[in-house]
């Protein structure tokens, strides 16, 4: 691994434990203080007592992919943007404790007031997708587009699952943020502003939206690899493309394959395949239904009792839905366990530690976006909020 302050396996171990620094990553990984032992039988009561002591001063947000042991203490659950909006809607809460990953906490900091502090219980909870597009890489890509004279007609669009630095770049260059629910509307807005789009950082959401929702062909899409000169593309390929997709993906949704879908249909010909649009194009094409996390939840809520569903999204959520809807046959699309490993860093010991630090008058693991970046990122977010 490059960019570490210490070489070798020791640094890798420190990073995995949440103690160490990865200079090449969007996340910080220093976690001061000692965590309670995960085997402590009093963790639940300690969390409850600390939350009660803090009262309305703390507002706990829990992403859908969090463990049940954490979700039980969330005041609100949802996807990343819904949670950031909920944080902004609670100006009386001095502390926003975000049980999610780093880019989500950044978005909450951008949208909340200066008097509020956003806290991430474990700073090692990053996002592999967000890490696949660094500010320097995106600036180099933009220089490539300038060199061949297409930057001025290209509108950058970034998925919510990106760092504040990338959102800031997009805002500065007149672009927009999107979610998996409104990607089509954001792209249509972008094509009203320019001739082509640079879509960051998830190639699959961009490709699936362009081809499935907007009627473009796969040939209209090119893939920019930031690790190759010019993105690994010729000037002609860049000029001819309608959308320049960034070579990034979700490590969880990218694991689902066409073989997973075919195997499920062999086992149960009546099964409904329901997947997230971060899945590969061939998986999405073979599915029966495609949509965001919130869409998946609503589909299962409305589904007929006794119906069968194979879900292609994070395992914590699928298990929670199976327990919530016992009258439906809900299964995970893949045989392989597929948790979001970084999301799962937020566990009960980290939550208890963060809450008890606040009770003791110490504010741990605050997430702060610098004002200039926040201003541009807010512009990109506001453009999304203004979408019809």
Question: CA of 269: how far to CAs of 272, 284, 296, in Å?
Answer: 9, 18, 20
338 is in an annotated binding site: no
159 is in an annotated binding site: yes
180 is in an annotated binding site: yes
Cis peptide before 201 (omega within 30 of 0): yes
Contact 232, 224 (CB under 8 A): yes
99 is in an annotated binding site: no
293 is in an annotated binding site: yes
Please spell the DSSP secondary structure of 141-169, one letter per residue: HHHHHHHTT-GGGEEEEEESSS-HHHHHH
161 is in an annotated binding site: yes
Contact 24, 130 (CB under 8 A): no
115 is in an annotated binding site: no
127 is in an annotated binding site: yes
Q: Which of 356, 367, 360 is nearest to 117 (CA)?
A: 367
Paired residues of 22 in beta bridges: 4
162 is in an annotated binding site: no
Query: Which residues are CB-contacts of 343 (< 8 A; sequence separation ≥ 6)?
Result: 63, 65, 66, 100, 101, 125, 314, 316
331 is in an annotated binding site: no
Query: Which residues are CB-contacts of 215 (< 8 A; sequence separation ≥ 6)?
Result: none
371 is in an annotated binding site: no
Binding residues for [4Fe-4S] cluster: 127, 250, 340
Q: Which residues are part of a known binding site?
A: 63, 80, 127, 159-161, 180, 250, 276-278, 293, 340
Q: Which residues are annotated as a binding site for iminosuccinate?
A: 63, 80, 159-161, 180, 276-278, 293
């Amino acid at each position: 691994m490059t960019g570490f302050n210490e070489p070798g396996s020791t640094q890798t171990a420190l990073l995995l434990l949440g103690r160490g620094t990865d200079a090449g990553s969007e996340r910080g990984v220093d976690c001061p203080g000692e965590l309670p032992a995960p085997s402590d039988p009093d963790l639940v009561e300690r969390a409850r007592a600390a939350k009660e002591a803090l009262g309305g001063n703390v507002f706990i947000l829990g992403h859908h992919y969090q463990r049940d042991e954490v979700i039980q203490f969330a005041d609100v659950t949802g996807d990343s943007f819904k949670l950031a909006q909920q944080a902004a809607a609670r100006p009386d809460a001095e502390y926003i404790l975000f049980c999610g990953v780093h880019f989500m906490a950044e978005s909450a900091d951008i949208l909340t007031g200066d008097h509020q502090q956003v806290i991430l219980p474990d700073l090692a909870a990053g996002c592999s997708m967000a890490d696949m597009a660094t500010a320097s890489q995106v600036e180099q890509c933009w220089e490539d587009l300038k060199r061949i004279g297409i930057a001025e007609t290209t509108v950058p669009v970034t998925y919510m699952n990106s760092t504040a630095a990338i959102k800031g770049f997009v805002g500065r260059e007149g672009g927009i943020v999107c979610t998996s629910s409104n990607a089509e509307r954001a792209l249509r807005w972008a094509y009203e502003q320019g001739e082509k789009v640079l879509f960051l950082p998830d190639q699959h959401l961009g490709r699936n939206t362009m081809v499935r929702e907007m009627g473009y062909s796969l040939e209209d899409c090119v893939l920019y690899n930031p690790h190759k000169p010019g993105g690994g593309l010729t000037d002609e390929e860049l000029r001819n493309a309608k959308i320049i997709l960034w070579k990034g993906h979700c490590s969880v949704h990218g694991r689902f394959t066409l073989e997973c879908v075919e195997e499920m249909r062999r086992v149960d010909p009546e099964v409904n395949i329901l997947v997230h649009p971060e899945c590969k194009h061939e998986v999405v094409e073979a599915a029966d239904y495609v949509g965001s996390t919130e869409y998946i939840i609503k589909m299962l809520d409305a589904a007929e009792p006794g119906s069968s569903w194979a879900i292609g999204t994070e395992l914590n959520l699928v298990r929670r839905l199976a327990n919530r809807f016992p009258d439906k046959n809900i299964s995970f699309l893949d045989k392989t366990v597929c948790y979001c490993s970084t999301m799962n860093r937020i566990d009960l010991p980290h939550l208890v530690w963060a809450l008890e630090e606040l009770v003791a008058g110490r504010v741990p693991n605050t997430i702060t976006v610098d004002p200039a970046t926040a201003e541009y990122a807010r512009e990109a977010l506001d453009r999304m909020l203004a979408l019809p």
